[in-house]
Structure 1
Amino acid sequence: MSDREAGAGTPELSVVVYGRNVQGHLAESLAALADHADTAPAVEVVVAAVGDSARQAAERHPYATLVALPDGTPDGAARAAGADRATGRWLQFAHSKDSVPALAARAVAERTAGLDGAGVDVLLTDHVRSTWRHARMPSRDGGFLAKPGRRDVSLTDCPDLLKVTPLLGTHVVRADFWRSRQQEGLATDDELFTAYALLLTAGRIAALDQVALEDRRLRAESLPPVTADGHFALLDTYERLLRLAAERDAGPGPRSVLYAAMVAASLRTVARAPLPEDTAREFFARAARAAVDFRPPGYRRPGGQEGMRRRLLEENAYARYRAFQAVNQRRRKVLSAARGSRRTVGRKVRDLQYHQDLKRPVDPDLAVFSAYWDRGVACNPAAVAAKLAELAPHIHRVWIVSADNVPLLPPGTDHVVPGSRRYWRVLATAKYLVNNANFPNAVLKRPDAVHLQTHHGTPLKRMGLDQLDYPAAAKGLNFHDLLARVDRWDYSVSSNSHSTQMWQRAYQSRYVELDHGYPRNDVYYTATAADVRAVRERLGIPPGRRALLYAPTHRDYEATWTPRLDLAALADRLGEDTVLLVRGHYFYGGAASPLAGLRRAGRVIDVSTYDPVEDLALAADALITDYSSIMFDYANLDRPVVIYADDWETYAKTRGVYFDLPSEAPGPVARTQDELTEILATEAWRDGTAAKARAAFRRRFCEFDDGRAAERVVRRVFLGEPEEALPPVTPLDERTPAPTPEEATR
């Protein structure tokens, strides 16, 4: 329908598709949006079609409002024409080559509906990227989008939002705000400028960690080549943005982020763009002036080669920069020529440096931490590190963190990136090495170093050597290498006798067992009512709502994670008073979420990227899980747990398990969605039978967790206190878990 029926109401969101029919992609874009046709008047689709091909493609979709524009209409003008015709309270722009994934617009509309009247001007969303070779590759924006949670923030409070990929299609804008920016001349043909300018001038910004755009990157060879003027225009754009940031008093954080982006783009242009020598020199000089003129007060260059490049740029040392570049290019060519032996050569160099460092004295005041294969500050290692800072602040803490996760680190965290020179040096010289997984095979155990294995869960599924008979779970695991890694352990932390026994069987070596409890579970006894209220507020859970945390685990027999529940149906059946917090297993943290479209404002919230998970547990009135070890941790809170074991037999057969969960569960067990819904829709989830099962489960699996586990571990391992001098484990009946959400509101 080209015109909406009178009285249908004002749409919440207008999706403005604009531009010419580039490579025929407009038909795909509109086909994806057809799924939103039944959501009117919540979502309307406006197509600002440039040229006959685009117009004809749009005419085949009766749900769309067509704005026909002549060939040659610039993108900025097409966007403006579409926005003028749009009637929604919020606007999302999608170029005709891109698309809005199925159900995404509905989810965005539901989110924006909750922002009306809150003073929010921009809602930032996530995206996936497709090329001619690969489809729907996830972005790296999720971590930045997760930082505000459900809160709206100012750019000064959260400057990292400027690190979100500057795609206009992921910047959903309030219509009145957009029109005011148009009047100020900030909505231009330059998408990069417009995307950044919207954030710089917004009063408040909200984030939705949800894929709302598929950014289709066209093959470079199919596009007109970028001219020298185009490269200079990029520099002009960043200079305009930095001036705008200064005019708007954006603060040092946003200005530093923009400045770093400008310098990186300038150096990338000099290094990669095929510019004539005189043009390249001119561009370098222009970029050098900008690097000096716009450098924010107190800005510090990064270290290493990147820092050297930036220093040469600021000094306008073009000849030295080219020499530096040539040296690096020759080095890369040598490495490329020796591709067949590159790994061997690199390993020899690394080994030589590492063995030299192993001859250095051990630093008694240095501790190295890693969690979940270098994901960041998390889990038991994080709790140990926090307590170490309190009880032994003289011990310096360094975290091993993969390059992709460095931007997510808490401010001031000393860290090293795997494979770097300092990485091998700290591994060679640290007195203490703490991990909840394992360090690489190449790490050698020094006699005077201490390796602390914290683990990251209570085992229901088979682990270590017990996986020998389960090839689907082992997946080529080299058990000889595994045992060599285990032989480095000095201590192994346990939260209950069951775990202690299973670790002894699965990881057979001479380490000392620390039956001290899991440090990460201390918070379940130390958190206050204010803490519970605060995390629920961050997640956007209204007071008085029942929050159910759904946290399934990984299946070795599945290639990707797919929710085993119809979450939309479950949410509808449980009613408006229930909020579902849905967390996918971390194995799939880098994949595009299959929950796109189900994140409804205040009803279903995807918390797959939210850390720490302990916050989610504190916020939840009850847990729904299958075979995840989160059930053992959550039981410390003495809140209801419901097991959804729809594929128990398959899981037990392919993965191997240590006990029969359905008969020893911490609460009611459902085998179908109907059974689960019935449990949650009645009092069965928290009745006397459920409480009895939970009490037995807690006695067995919450044995050592009492809120002082981290203290015991630090005193025993780092301070050398004897076992008998440590704080004793408080009996289960004498412990007081953190307040429930209901108690926290009293």
Structure 2
Amino acid sequence: MSPLLSIVLPVHGVERFLPRCLDSLGLGSTPGPGLPAAPPDTPGSPDEVEIIAVDDLSPDGCGAILDEYAARNPGLRVLHLRRNQGLGGARTAGLAEARGRYVWFVDSDDWLPDGTLAAVTAELRREEAGPVPADVLLTDFDHSYPDGSSEPNPWRHLLTGSPLVEGCTAAEHPALLQTVMAVWNKIFRREFLEGLEVSFGRGFYEDISVTYPALLAAGRLRYLDRSCYNYRRGRPGAITSTASPKHADVFAQYDAIFAFLSRRGLTNQRLVFDRTVKQALTVYDTPGLVPAELRREFFAQISAHFARHRPAGYSFPAGLRGVQYRLASMGSRRAYDELRRTGRLPRTLRRRARAVAPAVRRGVRSGARFTAYNAFRQLPLDEHLAVYAAYWHRGYACNPAAIYEKARELAPEVRGVWVAETAAHAAKLPDGVPYVIVNTPGYLRAMATAKYFVNNVNFPHTMAKRPGTVHLQTQHGTPLKSMGMDLKDRPAAADGMDFDRLREAVGRWDYLVSPNPHTSEHFSRAFPGRYQLLETGYPRNDRLALAGAAESAAVRERLGLAAGQRTVLFAPTHREGRGGYVPLLDVRDLAERLGSGYTLLVRTHYFHTGGAGDLTAGEGAAAIVDVSDHPAVEDLYLAADVLVTDYSSMMFDYAVLDRPVVIFAPDWTEYRRARGVYFDLMASPPGAVATDLDQLAEALLAEDPAAAARAAFRERFCPWDDGGAAERVVRQIFPVHGGAAVPPPAASPRAASPAEA
């Protein structure tokens, strides 16, 4: 009986990487896939998996390595080619020798994660046992980098949860064509593949002449939501980073793809054409790929591709992308390059651009900003300028505000300027705080010349940090929920997060502030980078640590809270997938349970707009006040006798005050499953836990629920909140002359409650 799976392994010039690849296929020194010790029909036995390695006249020691492995592994066969065939030719030679019912083309510088062969063969057996076996099984994968780091498949959100999980065609899930078109994460039913009458091309991009036809013609595609492949990126010699005339090989592969579509009468030509044009222009635009002396010819081939394969009735995309496509179709390379460089079209062409004028105008505006920004970047760095921002330029808040105030005191020669999204946001800044508005000349100059960046989120990726600039990332909360790269396996929570862009942003950080040991542990993994971790405590919590009874009383007076009222701050967090503010608690019902001796302050998450809705309380009920727009959440902490939250990081900040916290968690199991968490909040809460209205009202009416739990929580999460965090950060980042150094983080003091005040 033929094997279930044939693995075809083309090998050329990968001596450093080959042993790891072979070992991951179970060909190491211990019994595993392919060894005689494996019984028949066991995943990886010779009866189930065969491995065909093709030595493509490798110039190094790969041939000897393969022979050594084959001598002790009957499941491995080695073909030694007498002349170099290239990656496509080697795969073709291996496919001709394959006997498996399915075939998988694995690159010999990559490797499979542990347990992959067993998982894949089990999935293939299930497919064969079903009524309609998959023609192609797609697998998930990870990108791996030379520094040992990795990142998940950036297109995973287009696959997981899609019809591909159960099985469908490409026509039923066209988003498939936006994912990687490489061959290595696709396992083909061999009879189907051979029946397509397609072949791997020669030179670069050799596999797309197989993958496109296979995906478009398959009667059934399946996606296995498991990382089954580690694709090595960034190694020398990879085509994605190599300047070569062979990048023009892509056009021969396009011709083969469209010839197949015509033979089969397939109707996906618009989608395929758009994808090929996008790829060709990406190759042209990427610095260092197409040699300078060949760029004119390469662009002419893009224009010829338009002439040969533009589908009938094709209309250009909207916006600036459509302008670029039009220029490529006309062969207007100078105009295309000018538009890419400056955002402007040459004057002679602008007269003919009325049909695309709106998109051109948008391009001009963005291009003019880009040109101005690059011009400002030619100026010397301003050693005495720091740019501050918080919450996507929405206001003056959080750790950056605390650092700004302490820097004005300790490093007054460093001028601070705040970034505001709009004039309306700028109007809310405190009096006397300098600011610039996004995309104005002042903003572009500040971002291009500042010595220091301070933000609690990331600046736009277009504002690239210059050599010599110091970027301080503060973040904005102790994490309960999964963050950053830890979301790579949680697409619903990641909500389309671009992990490539995130890694790029983290690579710009020089310092990251940590509020406590718990955060240090998890942020180091969630945001992998070479920055220095500042274990200082959160600057924004200094005010809470140092607050006295008089400040709490003054805040309550400013908020108009009556003396003697017990004040409850209700502040739920954002939940992915629920849209706007969808409370799981009827605060009006709670107000009636608490009675007139209470005041409820309701604060929605800053992702939500429009406040908390109708909060009219009945007669005899607690007063309800919507404080969603109050600019300083620290005011609300100081005013409140007790905090009610669910999974918000506010619980960690409020714990600095050593006041009661009640966790309202009616959906903990669902939230934990969907978002992922770093610890079991139900096992280690900061206070009482309620899952329904009755329990919540009972906890709030009690004198001081769960004081012991709060003490343990403070010891774990507030050890550095001693009032000196901002000074520790400023002395680390800015030039501070004189004065005694602030001591290391100490135990957090206890602040007086409003009742005590």
Taking structure 2 as the reference length, what is the TM-score of the superposition? 0.52
Q: 1:743 is matched by which residue type in structure 2?
A: E
Query: What is the aligned counterpart of 2:575 among 526, 546, 555?
Result: 555
Task: Quickly say closer, same or farther: Cα 1:465–1:357, change in 2 above 3 A.
Answer: same
- Report whether the alignment pairs 1:672 with 2:667: no
Q: 1:691 is matched by which residue type in structure 2?
A: A
- Report whether the alignment pairs 1:467 with 2:516: no
Partner residue, 1:371 = 390
How is 1:236-635 mapped onto 2 (pairs within 5 angstroms)? 338-403=357-422, 404-588=424-608, 590-591=609-610, 593-598=612-617, 603-635=623-655
Task: Quickly say closer, same or farther: Cα 1:602–1:390, change in 2 above 3 A.
Answer: farther
Structure 2 Cα separation of the partners of residues 446 and 643 of structure 1: 44
Q: SS of 2:584's equivalent?
A: coil
Task: Quickly say closer, same or farther: Cα 1:540–1:521, change in 2 above 3 A.
Answer: same
The answer on whether the counterparts of 2:537 and 2:745 sit within 8 Å (CA) in structure 1 is no
Note the C-alpha offset of 1:596: 4.5
Note the C-alpha offset of 1:490: 0.5
- Report whether the alignment pairs 1:731 with 2:746: yes
Partner residue, 1:708 = 724
Q: SS of 1:586's equivalent?
A: coil
Structure 2 Cα separation of the partners of residues 336 and 658 of structure 1: 53
Q: 2:713 is matched by which residue type in structure 1?
A: F
**Number of residue-to-residue matches in the alignment:** 406
Note the alpha carbon deviations across 1:446-505, whole angstroms, 9 max, x for none: 121110001100001111111111112211111101111111100000110111111111
Note the alpha carbon deviations across 1:676-711, whole angstroms, 9 max, x for none: 11112233xx14xx1111111111111221101001
Note the C-alpha offset of 1:720: 6.5
Note the C-alpha offset of 1:426: 0.1
Structure 1 Cα separation of the partners of residues 509 and 450 of structure 2: 15
The answer on whether the counterparts of 1:716 and 1:726 sit within 8 Å (CA) in structure 2 is no
Q: SS of 2:458's equivalent?
A: coil
Structure 2 Cα separation of the partners of residues 428 and 618 of structure 1: 39
The answer on whether the counterparts of 1:453 and 1:491 sit within 8 Å (CA) in structure 2 is yes
Structure 1 Cα separation of the partners of residues 459 and 523 of structure 2: 17
The answer on whether the counterparts of 2:399 and 2:476 sit within 8 Å (CA) in structure 1 is yes
Task: Quickly say closer, same or farther: Cα 1:741–1:361, change in 2 above 3 A.
Answer: same
Note the alpha carbon deviations across 1:18-52, whole angstroms, 9 max, x for none: xxxxxxxxxxxxxxxxxxxxxxxxxxxxxxxxxxx
Task: Quickly say closer, same or farther: Cα 1:477–1:506, change in 2 above 3 A.
Answer: same
Partner residue, 1:741 = 754
Q: SS of 2:551's equivalent?
A: helix
Note the alpha carbon deviations across 1:284-339, whole angstroms, 9 max, x for none: xxxxxxxxxxxxxxxxxxxxxxxxxxxxxxxxxxxxxxxxxxxxxxx9x9999522
Q: 2:420 is matched by which residue type in structure 1?
A: V
Note the alpha carbon deviations across 1:367-393, whole angstroms, 9 max, x for none: 100000001111100000011111112
Partner residue, 2:170 = none
Q: SS of 1:642's equivalent?
A: strand
Structure 1 Cα separation of the partners of residues 353 and 587 of structure 2: 54
Structure 1 Cα separation of the partners of residues 744 and 708 of structure 2: 23
Note the C-alpha offset of 1:542: 1.2
Task: Quickly say closer, same or farther: Cα 1:417–1:334, change in 2 above 3 A.
Answer: farther
The answer on whether the counterparts of 2:569 and 2:637 sit within 8 Å (CA) in structure 1 is yes
Note the alpha carbon deviations across 1:180-206, whole angstroms, 9 max, x for none: xxxxxxxxxxxxxxxxxxxxxxxxxxx
Q: 1:718 is matched by which residue type in structure 2?
A: F
Name stretches of at least 5 consecutive residues in structure 2 with no aligned partner: 1-349
The answer on whether the counterparts of 2:721 and 2:746 sit within 8 Å (CA) in structure 1 is no
- Report whether the alignment pairs 1:644 with 2:659: no
Structure 2 Cα separation of the partners of residues 335 and 665 of structure 1: 63
Q: Return 335-344 or 735-744, whichever deviates more.
A: 335-344
The answer on whether the counterparts of 2:515 and 2:537 sit within 8 Å (CA) in structure 1 is yes
Note the alpha carbon deviations across 1:481-531, whole angstroms, 9 max, x for none: 111111110000011011111111111110000000100000012223221
Note the alpha carbon deviations across 1:563-598, whole angstroms, 9 max, x for none: 22121221121121111111111111x335424435
Q: SS of 1:741's equivalent?
A: coil
Note the alpha carbon deviations across 1:108-140, whole angstroms, 9 max, x for none: xxxxxxxxxxxxxxxxxxxxxxxxxxxxxxxxx
Q: SS of 2:585's equivalent?
A: coil
The answer on whether the counterparts of 1:643 and 1:670 sit within 8 Å (CA) in structure 2 is yes
For CA contacts below 8 A with separation 6 or more, give which structure has more relative contact order.
Answer: 1
Task: Quickly say closer, same or farther: Cα 1:515–1:335, change in 2 above 3 A.
Answer: farther
How is 1:56-67 mapped onto 2 (pairs within 5 angstroms)? none
Partner residue, 2:137 = none
- Report whether the alignment pairs 1:696 with 2:709: no
Q: SS of 2:480's equivalent?
A: coil
Q: 1:729 is matched by which residue type in structure 2?
A: P
Note the C-alpha offset of 1:726: 4.0
Give me the identity figure in percent: 50
Task: Quickly say closer, same or farther: Cα 1:558–1:694, change in 2 above 3 A.
Answer: same
Task: Quickly say closer, same or farther: Cα 1:429–1:643, change in 2 above 3 A.
Answer: same
Q: 1:418 is matched by which residue type in structure 2?
A: V
Task: Quickly say closer, same or farther: Cα 1:370–1:387, change in 2 above 3 A.
Answer: same
Structure 2 Cα separation of the partners of residues 619 and 392 of structure 1: 32
Note the alpha carbon deviations across 1:240-278, whole angstroms, 9 max, x for none: xxxxxxxxxxxxxxxxxxxxxxxxxxxxxxxxxxxxxxx
How is 1:24-39 mapped onto 2 (pairs within 5 angstroms)? none
Note the C-alpha offset of 1:625: 0.4
The answer on whether the counterparts of 1:541 and 1:602 sit within 8 Å (CA) in structure 2 is no
Q: SS of 1:699's equivalent?
A: helix
Q: SS of 2:644's equivalent?
A: strand
Structure 2 Cα separation of the partners of residues 334 and 397 of structure 1: 43
Q: 2:727 is matched by which residue type in structure 1?
A: E
The answer on whether the counterparts of 2:603 and 2:627 sit within 8 Å (CA) in structure 1 is yes
Note the alpha carbon deviations across 1:658-680, whole angstroms, 9 max, x for none: 11111111011111111111112
Task: Quickly say closer, same or farther: Cα 1:336–1:739, change in 2 above 3 A.
Answer: farther
CA RMSD in angstroms comes to 2.4
Note the C-alpha offset of 1:357: 1.0
Q: SS of 2:662's equivalent?
A: strand
Structure 2 Cα separation of the partners of residues 473 and 341 of structure 1: 36
Q: 1:661 is matched by which residue type in structure 2?
A: L
The answer on whether the counterparts of 1:553 and 1:585 sit within 8 Å (CA) in structure 2 is yes
Structure 2 Cα separation of the partners of residues 692 and 551 of structure 1: 23
How is 1:79-158 mapped onto 2 (pairs within 5 angstroms)? none
Note the C-alpha offset of 1:341: 3.6
The answer on whether the counterparts of 2:603 and 2:626 sit within 8 Å (CA) in structure 1 is yes
